[in-house]
Amino acid sequence: RHLQTKSMAEPSVDTFDLLHHHLRQLHARPRSLATPIASLLEVQHELLLFTLALHEGDTSRVDMVLAGTVDLLSQHGTEPLNTASVAMVLNLLAAPLTQDALVSKV
């Protein structure tokens, strides 16, 4: 009971905003072996799947994730993406189309 009262009194934290904020900080770091673009794209993909599952129908959050992906790819420049990065980009593009979250219920 004490835990319920305590958690209800605390301000709520928007998990999406928190994850999105930290992911943007990772994007701002210079690319290195510690932050390859394929790994960052994979985290983008996981955030998108999280958004589709937990924020059903919230297209503004989906747009934020996809816009972050565009920013990340723009920072990459004109150098060709490796196979893993291309696969992640395809997964990101397909995710909203393959998830039921954005399809209206009949």
pLDDT in tens, 7-29: 555 668 788 888 888 888 887 77
CA distance 91 to 85: 10
pLDDT in tens, 51-90: 998 888 888 999 999 999 999 899 888 889 999 999 999 9
C-alpha count within 13 angstroms, C-beta hemisphere, residue 75: 17
